[in-house]
Amino acid sequence: MTDLSKITCIEDLRVLAKRRVPRMFYDYADSGSWTESTYRANQSDFQSILFKQRVAINMEGRSTATTMIGEPVTMPVALAPTGLTGMQHADGEIAAARAARQFGVPFTLSTMSICSIEDVAEHAGKGFWFQLYVMRDRDFIERLIDRAKAAGCGALVITLDLQILGQRHKDIKNGLSTPPKPTIANLINLATKPRWVAGMLATPRRKFGNIHGHVKGVTDMSNLGAWTADQFDPRLNWGDVEWIKRRWGGKIIIKGIMEPEDARLAVDSGADALIVSNHGGRQLDGAPSAIAALPAIVDAVGKQIEVHMDSGIRSGQDVLKAWALGARGTYIGRAFLWGLGAAGEAGVTKALQIIHKELDTTMAFCGHTQIGNVDKGIFRAGTYPVG
């Protein structure tokens, strides 16, 4: 067992995950597209926002509890949908779903997961959401939606910013595939990751569980880039969102919104929430950070639809900053993946504990005991983005 008592921040988990996860899968998570300028801005723009410290205020009775799309959560954080989670650690989606359930936050399963919807449903709690990519095979998409409904997923997260795949240089250079191809370079790297190898040998889940055996005419899904280019539908439009909403019949969250005009279209679609997101800097390089884009979107539609955000969140302080700027939910991707890669389910729990502690403590230092009362008044003037 890994001793996590000395782990004090998400960066500690990242360092440990880098040692334990094969290079191609570590790089898949910890990378952006093209020059990675947007990937870096997602974090650095958070750092430029400064708090106002308040003193001599009663800090007892603090609570970070709230709701996301009407569901109670311990804090305004959900685990983001991340592809290949089960390649960071054996049965990774199951482990992450268990940790989220125990902590009281939602877990969102990616279409491109290793563990299937049915696998995860056996272990997830009420806050089990499913993220949908729209593919050319609409019959498959209908069946995928029906499977998510049958599994009891409480919301469908429709990702709109991956009609085509951004150029991710590390994935190309690493020859990303699942499972890894037995090249000399891969075998040498795997020889340095005995814990990971042992876990993978002990599970049968090493392919895309939601897709393998379910898509007609697809014989090889090991090359993620090639398969994505062939199957993801570049014709995706708002009419498709309406069709999906009718088929699903439940709560809808639209992911990938970066401009107020698209946020208004999300409102018109009848969605329950939208996620301000640049896909973690993995799609359009040169786009603004998600936290910079957030205020204008909140100003445009915040009273008509619940606004969430992801991309760049590495701490509880980041969560508090996003909340104060109007996000009523946030999503962590890399932060929980690093915990997973470092120590499996216990590592994901540790990541959530770290973020919750940082959120709670910072809220108190800013003079608040209830997250619902936090607004832009916690910031020093001129240091935060405005709409």
Binding residue numbers for glyoxylate: 28, 133, 168, 279, 282
Phi, psi of 193 (to 5 degrees): -125, 60
C-alpha to C-alpha distance for 109 and 81, rounded to whole angstroms: 5
At residue 356, the 3 state secondary structure works out as helix
Task: Report whether the peptide linkage leading into residue 179 is cis, meaning its omega lies within 30 degrees of zero.
Answer: yes
The tokens of 78 are what? Answer: 């959900």
Q: Which residues of 293-304 are buried (b: 16+ CB within 10 A; e: fewer)?
A: bbbbbbebbbee
Q: What is the SS3 assignment for 256?
A: strand
254 backbone φψ class: left, alpha, beta (φ>0; ψ -120 to 50):
beta
Whether the Cβ atoms of residue 13 and residue 339 lie closer than 8 Å to each other: yes
Q: Cα separations (Å) of 23 from 28, 29, 194, 199?
A: 8, 10, 13, 16
The stretches of the chain forming alpha helices (DSSP H) are 10-20, 23-29, 37-47, 92-103, 117-121, 138-150, 169-174, 184-190, 194-201, 224-231, 238-248, 260-268, 290-301, 316-324, 334-365
Mark the binding-site residues, compressed into ranges.
28, 81-83, 110, 131, 133, 159, 168, 255, 277, 279, 282, 310-314, 333-334
Give the residue numbers of the binding site for FMN.
Answer: 81-83, 110, 131, 159, 255, 277, 310-314, 333-334
Instruction: Check residue 41 and report its DSSP letter.
Output: H
d(CA 54, CA 254) in angstroms, rounded, equals: 37
Interatomic CA distance for residues 271 and 157, integer angstroms? 10
Catalytic residue among 279, 308, 356, 368: 279
Calpha distance 199→210 (Å, rounded):
21
Is 214 an active-site residue?
Answer: no
Active site residues per annotation: 279
